[in-house]
Structure 1
Amino acid sequence: MPVRPFAPADIPAVDDLHRSVGWPVRTTSGWEWLSQNPARHAVGAPSGYVLADDQDRPAAFLGNLVHAFRQGERTVYGATGFSLIVPPEKAGRSRGLVKALMTQPGMFAHYTFNANPAAARIYDRIGLEPWPVGTHALKLSWIIDPLVCAAGRGLRQIDDRWPGLAPRLGERLMNGRMGQGRSLRLPTGVTALTDVTDNSPYATFWQALVAEGRLVADRSPAMLRWRLANPDVTTAPLALIWSHEGQVAGHALAVLAKENTIAPPVLEIIDLIALEGHSDAVPALMQAMIDAAPALGVAKVRLQVVSPRLLSQLGGWERRARREGGWGHGHATFAADGLDPADWSPTPLDGDYLICLRPVPISRAPVP
């Protein structure tokens, strides 16, 4: 069975593959939005790959999310796989899909930061190495509502014992605060990010971040506008900035998500980054997200990708966190192009979380 690039005509079959494993199904508008990724267009990459059957219909799928990165004046590109779906009867055919993604040209890195325990073993066997070094198996969370989290663990144990029961239970652990208008009390220095125009204070922050010379995923206003335009979200993201003496020096982005019908709602941190010399930024932004969590109706706050750099910047928040994960969810391979992987400190933004997390199932809200 050949592997070929994903095409718009494949959407119904790929949606069926997502339904078969209980993953969020993207709308047609959502697929169109995903195809508009500026980084994908810059390198002419497909949005994914399919394993085609005898009638050229998708029998398995792997998404291909291209990210642009800046290191000073240099722009490079990396590719992360997402939504690897290989039905049991096609077991063993994932290798061809992953190879197609890993051999696409022009990428400084091919990687995943979202491998589940089963997929993690696949990546180990095909040449991707655990990365970031020291934190590739680490996820951090902060409990907001212990009772709801305990209820979620209980429901998961029931589902483990009686597989297939969860869909019959319906959507659990919901509450009326999710999706409601919110007036949040934010710590000193932290404000909501409302202006992502090309001449905004946020744009100045992005320029300063690039000037530091680190290897950073594209956080330009144009790229952020695309990221925030996902038509399949149901609640507006929590976008924050931290300012010092009138200048933006830190940024955080988080979204409300619910892993499945029996999981508790979570505020998932997508991005958390600050300029050099501003050690107060990350703790202040963390405080803002923790303070906002009860009003948003979530049971915990979670950070699913942690670099050693970010771990040190968290300060006391690192010590208060619960350790999740435990398997190597982060894997990468790097091209020999002179870039030093040590210059890259990824956050969940650099992976597939923003496009793959299951939105909380409520009436859709417009995206600002």
Structure 2
Amino acid sequence: MRIIFTYLLLLLFPPYLSAQIIWQEDFNAYTDGTTVGTTGRWTSTCGACLSGDFFEVRSGAFSAQDVNDFSTWESESINIAGVSDVTFALDAIETGDHEGPGCACGVNIDYFDVSYSIDGGAFITIENWNGDGEPGHTLTGDSQNGSALDADWESTTITQSGLSGNTLVLRVVMRNTAGTETMTLDNVVVSHTSLLPVNLVSFTAMPQNNLTQLYWQTSSEEFSSHFELEKSIDGIYFQTIGNIAAIGTSKGAYYHFEDLSLPQTVYYRLKSFDTNESFYYSDIISVTGKHSITNTPYPNPFANELFLKLSDHSNLTFLSIDGKKQKVISLPEGLHDLHPYLEGFPTGMIILNISSQYGTQKHKLIKLREKGF
């Protein structure tokens, strides 16, 4: 999601503007079972959860299963003072058959509600997102046409823009009542449109033996503080590998960094900070060494086909969102359609671990309802 999100931001805003990230949470840093974010970044409550139920971090996302009633995830108070046109986005994913308005079960429908509060005011609910909810609810089960047709929303990114004030609090309320039903929250991002502290002209990576040579050029950066260079082996989970002071000139500058890379495909992005510690990300770039672990499975989300090109014999492990192992297969080098191996898997998030002699990659896959069904 973040790769797509970064690309869309570059399309929406001209080169001298950027959607700078104010606050984000992708849940990747937490162990399974976590219910409260680090240093109070977010909290969660599940007053009706019974033994065997869960409302917690699972496999790098926040998931709810059989929570029975009114389970709430809420962010800390996020500082948005001094900026305008604030936007937030978050992923909402469901697995299983959730009951909706047409289920003849009265008020006991399943829902995923997103609301926000500005400056401590009343929470405002985003209603009937993309037609997959109803008045008072953001998303509901069996929502389309108000009938019990299993027309759940599957996977969607909910957004709200044009916000302004001093503080913002996000709230997500989930409800489902069966062990076969799961709702998942992921990739929460709050951003705003602003002038760039750095006008980035280019950012490139070149392999050289066991090194990656990274270069970037700016045309102006007089409000710049420093750069953080981040690296990933799958284009999703990044870690900082370098902190480089900015020259801070109005005429621009050239930079160079060497990374002792693994013999595989790796991804890089540049995080530029201004003097007020605001920051924005560059485009994600990649470089491939002599050996590549794998290409990214595509398309994602997927319905009837899921392709994966392997450069070496690999073991593939499929897990459900709660971390339970569902299937393990072994495949040779080459291009494979993984769809036959996923028949019978429910819609929603699937975790795929790909292991070979060069290491292990982790991918979050979203399975949609197959076309024609």
TM above 0.5, one fold?
no
Structure with greater proportional strand content: 2
Give the structure with higher Rg (CA).
2
TM-score by length of 2: 0.24
Q: Which has the higher contact order (CA 8 A, sep 6+)?
A: 1
TM-score by length of 1: 0.25
Structure with greater proportional helix content: 1
